[in-house]
Each structure stands twice: as structure tokens, then as C-alpha cells.
Structure 1
Amino acid sequence: MITETAPMTQIDPDLLKESFIKASLHLERNHKILNNLNVFPVPDGDTGSNMSSSLKAAVSGLEKANPLTLPDIARIFCEELNRNSRGNSGFILARFFAGFFDASAENDAISMKDLREGFSQGSFLVNTSLFSPTEGTMITIIAAMTEYMSSVDVADVRELFSGALECARTALENTPNDLPVLARAGVIDSGALGFIVLFDGFLSALTGTEPQVEIEADYRFPPQTGDDTDGGDDVSFRFCTELLVRLDKEIPGGDLREYLKARGNSIALVAEDDLLKLHIHTNNPGELEEYLSAYGEIEKTKIEDMQDQVNLFNKKADATDNAVLVCIPGDGFAEIFQNLGAEYSISYDEKLPSAHELCEKVGEIDNDHIIIITNNKNIIPAAIMARDECDKAVSILPTENVSRGIAGMYGFSENDTIAENAQNMHDCLEFVKSFSVFESSMNTRFGDEDISKGDFFSIADGKILSVAKTRSKVILESFAKYDLTGMGNISLFKGKKFDDSCLAEVKEYLHQINDTLEIEELYGGQNREELIVSLE
């Protein structure tokens, strides 16, 4: 509780810059903890590193330019954050602050009203920008802070942030209930914690205090055991729906939120005078239109089927001057994709490519239309941002792994139109199955499985297939999960650290089951996965 006589009613430009600096330092101080809170014990340098490097670049831009006004701070901060955002977490930060500053960028300082509207605008833009927003992640924390800010009447900025962060930590504790895979891993969502850490640092500049370093053990708990009922990334609500309503009568706020929660998720609301902007994932967009039309005129409607990934392709359906830019997890994949017709590649390791780096690579290609194959779900947001910023026409094949990227290339032809490539490449994704083998970097437990440091384990579609002390046992047990009698080809993409002495035993096992199988060993050169296996 703030006890000073004079309340802090606004954040001036100098204090805002100081707050961002403290936020960046606090995020950097805790980024390893965020990295360690992975669902699986793989050292991927993911969430914490991506959030920290994204914010640090934006803050460095402020320190270098030293802008004196709020409009200049907003412009430089958002430009640098957009250019340097990495992964889902960096993308969400970029979208959030772009929306946040829409409410105040032309003002002399950020007022209490600006803060409330900024969080609402930021939450809305995050939900409308993500390809598939997921509850139990950073968007849940943003929504919790937004709802708190809009529901309380306090006169001090510090008190508003303090209460919002307390509400955010309550929501953080519930993320494993929103996202079952977290419950089985025994962790909270690291991106959600990262957003809280950022604003803990931000608030420390307002209060003149030092925030405490987080303790990793505080965010671990006994994993949930039993059958894995987590549906992974399955779409429970099919239609991404955005409505703009010109209101002519008031909607009871509580009634509207309860109505929407019963009919969808990923809900974001922005009220501006008599305009209501709504984003929601639902199965019945028509029902929402009918409900809201009773309170005013619906001026704009946007409904997208989230099961249709082809909509990430450019609409210039008659263009044929196509080239493919593929994101690869190891240098060996460059030649593999070149042989399939993808001449251009950008390699990534723990550090995922930013939107700016993708734009630069696109700019080096002479073709008018570029298809980006992501091969990692955490690169999809940066690819979407690059598509929106590049001068050239860019389409995206949002593959979650390199096996699906290779399968997609079977449908590509440089002589086909964009529309034809979109459909053909998308159709080919269904013909491949894949699993990956890792070496555990720590002692942990996932559901019923104890995993020790140095153990080998395999993952397919976000679920563990096998855990064992040897590579060969994990690989054999993983293959046993599939019906190999109907398979024709198996590709083994070897990582930098993979010891292939076990493959003779693996091949013998496979040919005993299906002697017509074609088995191909290829060097991928990836760091994270010991082995990537593609089954067709």
C-alpha cells in the first residue's frame, strides 16, 4: 500500500525511461530461471533469453537516442522491439507495447486513464496478432492485469500496478490448470512469469525499491500423474472472431464478460467511448453477432477459421515468381532443403531469428514472392511480423518442426501460382509423422516419468514417448509406438552430438518389421535434438 501524502498520478518521460531500464535489468537478472522452467528438460534457451534480448534491444535504443518526449519514446521503443523480437514471448511483448502506446503516445505523460486504456489496447492487439493464442500463458497474465486495472478506482499509479501484479501472481498459480501440459511437467508458464518479472522491475523504478530475484523452486510443484489428457495445440474453439460495435445502449460489463467466458476464450475487450472492440475464439460467431446487435450497430466483422493454415499465404493467387526461405536448426539441413527446391535458408540455434533478421534475408532474395517455412512454432510470430513489415509479398508455411517443413517442400513448384503452392504444400504436411530424441539436461519428473540428467527421451506432438538410459533403447521404444508396416520411408537426421553406433541395431529392428522400408541417414547438424526422425 502506498502511504505518501501526494499520490503519483502519472508517469513522465524520464521516469518511463528509468522504468524500462529497471524492467530490462530485472528480466535479465531472472532470465536463466525462466529458461529453466521448461516443460521438457531441454536446454533450448527459450523464453527467458527471448524476452530479455527483445526488451534489452528496445531499452538500448532508448539509451542511445535519449528521447525527451513520450511520442519519441513510444516510437523508438516500439520500433526496436519490433525489429528485435524473438520467439513467441518477444513477439507478444512487441504487440503488447504497440497497443499500450496507442493510448498515450501523443501525450506529455502517461496518466492513470492512459495506463488502463493502454493495457486494454495491448491485450487486444496481442490476442488479435497471435496465430493461436493459448490460455495459461502470457496472455492470461495480461488479461488478469487488464481486468484488475479496469475494475478498481485508485488514485496512485504505484498502487494500481501493485494490485495488478498481485492479481497476476494469483493467475500465474492457476496456469497449470489452464494448460495441462504444465501440470504434468510440474511448472508454471515461464512466459507468464516473465511478464510479471518485467513489471516488477518497472514498478521498482516507480517506488524507488529493488525487486527480489525470483527463486526457481517457488514455481515448481509435484507433477500431475495419470493419463496424459492434454490435447496439445488442438483448437477447442474454431473461429477467431473480431467485432467492432457502435453502441447505442450500455451493456452491463459484468454480464458481458460472463456471457463471453461461457462461449469462448482468448477474450479481449476494448471500450472507446461508444465503440466496443471484441476479440474472441468461439465456435458460434453468429450467436455473438446477434447478441451484440441488440446493443448497437456492428460496423466491422472479421471471422477466421483457425484450422485453415492456408490463410497465412499471400492473396496474390496468380503470381508464379516464387522462392522459399526455410528456417533450419542445423547447417546440414541447408543442402537437404536445397535438393528439394528451397534455395535460401536462415540457420538458428538457441537464438531464434528476429523479424528484422527474416526481413533482411527476404530482402536479399530477387524473387517477388517469398514463402517462409518456419520449422519451429516459436518462429511463427516473427515470420508473421516480418510478413507485415517486408516490402515484398511474403507467405508463411507455419510448420512446427523440420520434418513437416521437408514434407511441405514435396508440394512446392516454382512454376505454380501462390494459391497452388499454398494448397499443395499444406496438403503434404499430413503425410509425415515425426519424433525427436534428446538428452536430459537436468533431473526432473514429467507426469509418471522420472527423467535423470543424462537420460535420453523422445518427444512427439508435445508428449513423451520413451525415457531410457541409452539412445538405442529410446529410439526402439519410440518406433514401437508406430505402425511401421504401412510406412515406406524413414529419415534419420543426426545432430552434432549424436553417436550413430546404435543405428545398426535400429535398422535391423526396422527391417524385421518391414523389410521394404527405405532408411536414410542424413546429417542435420542440430544442437538441441540428438536425432530427428521422420516417418512417411
Structure 2
Amino acid sequence: MAIVDLSTMAINHIDAKALHSWAKRSVAELSLRRAELNQLNVFPVPDADTGSNMAHTMEAAVAEADKGGDVAEALAVGSVRGARGNSGMVLSQVLRAVADSSADSLIDSHTLVNALKLAVELVDRAIATPVEGTVVSVLKAAAVAAEEAFEHSDALVDVLRATCDEAVKALANTPSQLKVLRDAGVVDAGGAGLVILLECLLAEVTETEQREGIAIPETIFELEVVFFYRGDIDKLEAAISGLGDSLVIARASEQEANVHIHSPRAGEVIEKAFAAGAVSNLRLEVLPARGVQQEQLADASPKVFVATRDTEMAKLFASIGASLYSAGMTLGEDDIFVGKPGGLNLGDAQVVAVSSNVEAIAALSVYAPGPDAASTMAEVAGGMRVDKPSDETVGAIIACCNDLLQQGGEQLTILTSLTLDTDQLSRQLGVEVIVVNIPGLRTEIGVE
């Protein structure tokens, strides 16, 4: 398969249709993560409505765009009319800036730079007393990053990637800028919503590239790993800095910090973090696929395979070192298959039989090349007790956790589509809790 240089073939703009598609994608993502954003909302008042306000504002924008006409202008008009709360107002000003900076709803890298700069001006004008550590800080960081990236490349995807990376870093820094966030152990809710919008735009641009015929030969999947850490921060940084990118360590003190990293080796990040100090409020989220060159994958060559029909689970498994098995594959004696082997032609592969996704995650998290790899993985998976709650509610999940812990246990892994407060659960249950969010998946709980 030929390798395509994306830096020379990347598209330079998106049109009105793609802009409309981005707006709809943003509504879906904000709605999906509404509860998560609401839980982050502690400033300016803890009224837990940022996610709802941003989702409603974007819905109003899309409803106006659905009527026809210039898409960018319609999104701006709809959002201003339908804006709810501070976060909705800020969002409306960002969309107004996009409309004022574009012509015929075409967005290129230069338009993006101008729109973000204008958005900063409009938001500063709209807010009587702008506060650092809020969405304002994230927006300013995004605007600066876009302008700096544009100096090196006019490809929209390049500028957007740099913008998203800096916005994520700025978001992770908000607790260090605003005491109320630091005390609550959260990042700014409005800033988190803005990052979602930017990442949705990046996803839209990437998919537009694919539709226009740019072949992406391989993909890797990463997880966003976020946690609060207590211990030797320099030791932690040295241990995980080579395991991913977008590493941000926002220090609350010399011994405490919020840690953020994007990594295709999330299992190793978590393992090293627990080995280095105390970890709490751990959150994992699957990031969009990213194209890479074949040479970058040469050293990885995963020897572990899983079978799943769930796209999000496939991304998660890939992020911790597994390849997706499909019918017709030929596996060798050095390969390891993790899953339910019934009905599959696995050849000479070693099999680690599991009956749940939680067990599969546990097995994959301890994989290390060597003659005893499969037996070690099987031992860890077999040592887990797994159950599912009676229904998809927080109360049912807690009840299920308590039932599992009656026989003892030191760590709970919860695979769920719900938004859970891991720090609160850890305190309530008296054990370490890891929550992995997978949209649309029925909750599974494993204890070890």
C-alpha cells in the first residue's frame, strides 16, 4: 500500500455542507457529554447546567441553519437567539465570529485564525469582567495557537490540530488559574465545551479529507488519560512523558497535580502512575482515530488480537495494544487471542478465554512479550469477578459494586456509558475505582 504524505495533500477548506455537518456533530457530542459538563460546572455558580446550556445553544443554531441560507450566518443568528447561560453566550459569540470572518460559509485556515481572534474580542466585549481559568483562557490559547500554526502551514487540518492541542493544555491549566476549580478538583466546564467543539471540527475536516480521496493507510487509536496525582511529580513526568503526547501536568502544589496525556499505551501510563504515587479521579476517553505512516507502526506490530463488533470497544482495545481479529485471518503460534473463541478459526494462536469486556481489558493491560504472556493474561482475567447492574443508573451501579466487594477486592473497573465521579465512588466504596466511558455500552463491573 502506498504511503500518502498528508501534509502535502491536506484540504485547505471546508464548505457550507461540511460546516453544517460540524454543527450537527457538535450537537450530538455536547448532548452525549451533557452530564459530564454539568458535573464540572462550579463557576461562576455551581448550578450544574453548562452542558445543558451549550447543547441547547448549539441545537438552536442548527435549527436556524436547517431553514436554509448562509450556514455560518444562520448558526450565528440561531445561537445568539437561543443562547442560554454564560457558556451559551460565549458559544454564540464564537459562531458570530465565524460568520463575520467567512464568505459563503467557506472555512480555511486563514478564516479560522481570524475567527478565533475576533471571538476573543467579542467575548471580552460581552463579559464585563473576564476571569482567567475559564473558557476565556481556553479561547485565547486556541486563538494564539492557530495564529502560530498558520505561520508554518496553511493546511486547515494542521492548524486545527495545533489549535486543539493547545486548547486541551489550556483547559488542563484552568484549575491552577482559578481557586474554585482547584478546590473542586475539576477543569472549567465552558472551556471543556469549547474543546469539544474544536475537536468536532477537527474530526469533520479529517473525514472531509477521506471523502475527497486522500488515502490514510493505517490508523492508531489513543486514549485521553486524566487523573489527579499525589507524589513525586518529577518522577511521574519522567515515567510517562515518552508514552504519548499532549502531556500537561497542572500542579496544585509541589506534591499534587492534575495530569492529562493522550496515549496509545494508556495501560502503561496508568500502571506507571500508580507505581509512582497515589492516583485518584481517573478518567479515560477514546480519542478520534489518527492517521500514521507505516514506518511508525513497524516497532509496535501487535501480537494480541480481540474480536468485537462494537466500534468504540475496538478503539479502546487498539489503544491498549490489541489488533482487531476478523474472519479469515491467519494467526501463528506466537499470537494471542483474547475473547470468546467459540466458532472462530484461530489456527495455532494461544487463547485467553474471557467472557466480558472488563476481563479482556484486564488481560490486555498486563500483556508483555514473552513465553509466559498468555498464561499471565489468563491468570489476571480469571481472577476478576464480573457483574452487570440491574439497570443503567448510578444507584444500580453502586449496588452492584457493593455486592461484588462483599467477597473482597482492591480495585474496581467500571465500563459504562454513564458519567461517574470516580473520586466520590472511591471514597464511598473504600477501594480504587477506574471508570472507562464507552458510548452506548451496557455497564460492566469487574473487581480484582
Q: Structure 1 length as normaliser, TM-score?
A: 0.38
Q: Structure 2 length as normaliser, TM-score?
A: 0.45
Q: For CA contacts below 8 A with separation 6 or more, give which structure has more relative contact order.
A: 1
| Higher alpha-carbon Rg | 1
